[in-house]
């Protein structure tokens, strides 16, 4: 039993590391001028593969909410993520997206009636300060569209995450992941073809990069992530902070994308505020779930 738990923990730790490699794989092996199409071709095959493993087709009576979740968590998220990755260094793009847990905490107030505490609000403000430090480094010229796309991608997936809790589970974790990937890819594919047109003739390098993203970075990663959550609990969300660190390290070592002092400080502030906000949210959730003793 202990061996199984340790193996699950190790494979779950691997997931955000794989996601951190998405940025360098995309910019070095795939057509960066077609970010929407890359997002669609990453999501759709991975979703079909996961559906073939057991869940099958989504139920007809849940197609509308599943399509909304697929659009928020996959379609819009992947599109904006790759736009950001095409315009920013990988470490910067990944770090901007790491404020997603803080956005989840803020969205839970109007959508779930779960008011954030003062500490969570301060953590969110600190996260915004961290993003400002990334932008205001005088030695860096970050692309404004890339920054906005990164922030919007985090907001899109945060909205989908809160909606899942609001609407309740509509299937197993594996089924929900498979259906969202498939529906999100189906929504994004025609939009990508309409906006970006057909890509150039694919090369062997394109095939290797896309194959890695579909099989390893999406299908396998989602499988391990779902298994980690169901076995170890939701606390594995903290492991997601490894993604921007891996992206930053790969960009620095392989591409020479070294960051300035203010940017490094901004990364530290964002990661620290994210950890603090998530810890405070977990503490508030545990306090709310604890039954209060009755008055005599």
Residue range 235-272, pLDDT digits in tens = 466 666 677 778 877 887 787 877 778 778 877 887 78
- In angstroms, rounded to a whole number, what is the distance separating the alpha carbons of residues 49 and 32? 25
Residue range 145-178, pLDDT digits in tens = 998 998 999 899 888 878 877 776 677 878 888 9
225-237 b/e (C-beta count within 10 Å ≥ 16 → b): bbbbeeeeeeebb
Total Cβ atoms within 10 A of residue 7 = 11
Least confident of 202-216, 225-239, 246-260: 225-239
């Amino acid at each position: 039993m202990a061996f199984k738990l340790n193996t699950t923990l190790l494979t779950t730790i691997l997931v955000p590391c794989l996601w951190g490699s998405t940025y360098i794989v995309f910019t070095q092996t795939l057509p960066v001028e077609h970010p929407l199409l890359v997002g669609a071709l990453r999501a759709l095959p991975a979703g079909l593969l996961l559906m073939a493993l057991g869940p099958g087709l989504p139920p007809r009576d849940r197609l509308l909410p599943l399509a909304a979740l697929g659009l928020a968590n996959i379609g819009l998220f992947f599109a904006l993520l790759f736009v950001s990755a095409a315009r920013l260094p990988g470490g910067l793009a990944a770090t901007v997206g790491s404020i997603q847990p803080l956005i989840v905490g803020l969205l839970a107030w109007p959508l779930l009636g779960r008011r954030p505490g003062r500490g969570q609000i301060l953590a969110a403000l600190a996260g915004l300060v961290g993003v400002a430090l990334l932008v205001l480094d005088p030695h860096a010229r970050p692309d404004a569209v890339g920054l906005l796309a990164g922030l919007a991608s985090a907001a899109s997936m945060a909205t989908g995450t809160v909606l899942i809790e609001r609407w309740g589970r509509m299937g197993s974790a594996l089924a929900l992941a498979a259906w969202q990937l498939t529906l999100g890819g189906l929504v994004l594919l025609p939009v990508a073809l309409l906006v970006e047109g057909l890509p150039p003739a694919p090369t062997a390098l394109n095939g290797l990069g896309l194959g890695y993203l579909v099989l390893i970075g999406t299908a396998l990663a989602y499988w391990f992530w779902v298994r980690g959550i169901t076995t170890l609990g939701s606390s594995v969300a903290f492991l997601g902070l490894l993604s921007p660190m891996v992206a930053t390290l790969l960009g620095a070592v392989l591409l020479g994308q070294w960051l300035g002092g203010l940017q490094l400080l901004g990364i530290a502030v964002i990661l620290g505020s994210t950890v603090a906000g998530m810890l405070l949210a977990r503490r508030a959730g545990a306090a709310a779930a604890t039954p209060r003793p009755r008055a005599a």
